[in-house]
Structure 1
């Protein structure tokens, strides 16, 4: 089996988390053919990145999702995919693959909206790309559900899951006013959505159902109905049978009257017979 076949097999049986990682890698590789390389980063066109300008995102609403599958550099992609793989294993320990995909998509959209609105009201202008916001949502969701879960880290040992998440959130807060403020805003927005998602889920409301039903709708819409092969129906025709005349011989009237009288005697006795019935029975017995 060559490398390509091995990748196809892993994609097929690896589950939704591995597929999302593959999608991110594929989008990055595709970007190599379309974007110019400049100072270690790719110059994204505004029809893929999420811009804070209403003149852009109002006419390109898909950018609220596409930005979460593209990355500015190889190191950006590598770090995000490592954290995504770590967070995915934690989340899928407790929840389903449909919930995972629903949370990834919804948190990316939510974080994108928060970023665009924040920059607009603050009077800033900028754009973002990367899966960090959705990754933070998945990590915080797992932490909210099981904060005391032990996680073994290399060179450190066992630590509580909430300790790891808290350190990452604190780093984002510390860098909020520094470089890449838009990215850190989206990270914190994604974390907030992950927290809200679990709290609503614990109260019986699963927001991921919206994504699951939407994807199922389009999947069934484009799915070909199974064609039934033509079946030739054979009918067995039988020749009409001739009407068979009854072979039952009816009793004559005298014998019928005798039987009726005997039945009456067996049920109610001889004394119940009328005078005419007694005379008829007497004459018939001669």
Structure 2
């Protein structure tokens, strides 16, 4: 199994958080290489014009997709790195109380709401700027679980007294105090995403899930592009000779091996698998 096959297997067997990390990291690598090539060729093409969220409303109307694409692009490696760290951290606690489907909905809806806050603000301030980064979407996840379970214990460097609300407070406080000095629009979108997380969990506790329309839309497209299962007629032959049948078929044995490997991944992580187990899982997934 080569590196590419290993990455494909990790993507297929990983959860929604791992897929989001793969997407953010993969897009960053691809477009960093593209930027390097454009500099080598001395090209003036700026792909951010078509992928970043513009503060100019007329520009947004012609590039409406940017309210989604902006949350998958990052300024530099450290911007991406810290977003991945906070996503990994917050999702660990989020998935303890909620589902992967809810995490996906909060991620995209939080990023969407943060983008809207950014757009609305700049209609009153005539500044032409652009927004990129997944921070608003990630802070929506963090704020959702923080409001729901603020006193959840967080272990950082063996310090047992830290609670989840302490971490969230520090992150939001840093956003607020940095706003007047740099990246005002970016910090505003972060706070917009966090505010969405607050609204989401408060309404959810009252029995109202405001992400339902988004979930329904995702389900519609997933089902529309899902290949339909075919059940062709098969000719059946009767075997009149007696044959000793094993209690488990080859299919049963294979499925049991897959289940055992997946249990091992859930308990000890993907890296705990042996080379043979990784190859077996990869071949079984084809």
What is the TM-score of this pair, normalised by structure 1?
0.75
**2:107 aligned with 1:83:** no
**2:145 aligned with 1:129:** no
Could you tell me how far apart the structure 2 residues matched to 1:134 and 1:153 are?
23
Q: Which runs of 5+ in 1 are unaligned?
A: 234-286
**2:89 aligned with 1:101:** no
**Match of residue 24 from structure 1:** 24
Runs of 4+ that moved beyond 3 A? 155-158, 230-233
Could you tell me how far apart the structure 2 residues matched to 1:167 and 1:230 are?
63
Cα pair 2:153 2:160 within 8 Å, conserved: no
Structure showing greater radius of gyration is 1
**Match of residue 6 from structure 1:** 6
What is the TM-score of this pair, normalised by structure 2?
0.75
Cα pair 2:107 2:137 within 8 Å, conserved: yes
**Match of residue 192 from structure 2:** 189
Q: 2:202 aligns with which of 199, 203, 213?
A: 199
Could you tell me how far apart the structure 2 residues matched to 1:35 and 1:203 are?
47
Could you tell me how far apart the structure 1 residues matched to 2:82 and 2:235 are?
62
Q: 1:90 to 1:43 in 2, by over 3 A?
A: farther
Could you tell me how far apart the structure 2 residues matched to 1:167 and 1:3 are?
38
Question: Pairwise CA RMSD of aligned residues?
Answer: 2.0
**2:216 aligned with 1:213:** yes
| 1:259-274 equivalence runs, <5 A | none
Cα pair 1:137 1:191 within 8 Å, conserved: yes
Q: Which is richer in strand?
A: 1
Cα pair 1:152 1:159 within 8 Å, conserved: yes
**2:155 aligned with 1:167:** no
SS at match of 1:101: helix
Measure how far apart 1:227 and its partner are: 2.4
**Match of residue 269 from structure 2:** none
Q: How many residues align?
A: 230
Could you tell me how far apart the structure 1 residues matched to 2:20 and 2:219 are?
18
Measure how far apart 1:230 and its partner are: 4.3
Measure how far apart 1:104 and its partner are: 0.5
Could you tell me how far apart the structure 2 residues matched to 1:219 and 1:167 are?
38
Measure how far apart 1:117 and its partner are: 1.1
**Match of residue 145 from structure 1:** 148
SS at match of 1:92: helix
Measure how far apart 1:210 and its partner are: 1.9
Could you tell me how far apart the structure 2 residues matched to 1:156 and 1:74 are?
29
Q: Which is richer in helix?
A: 2
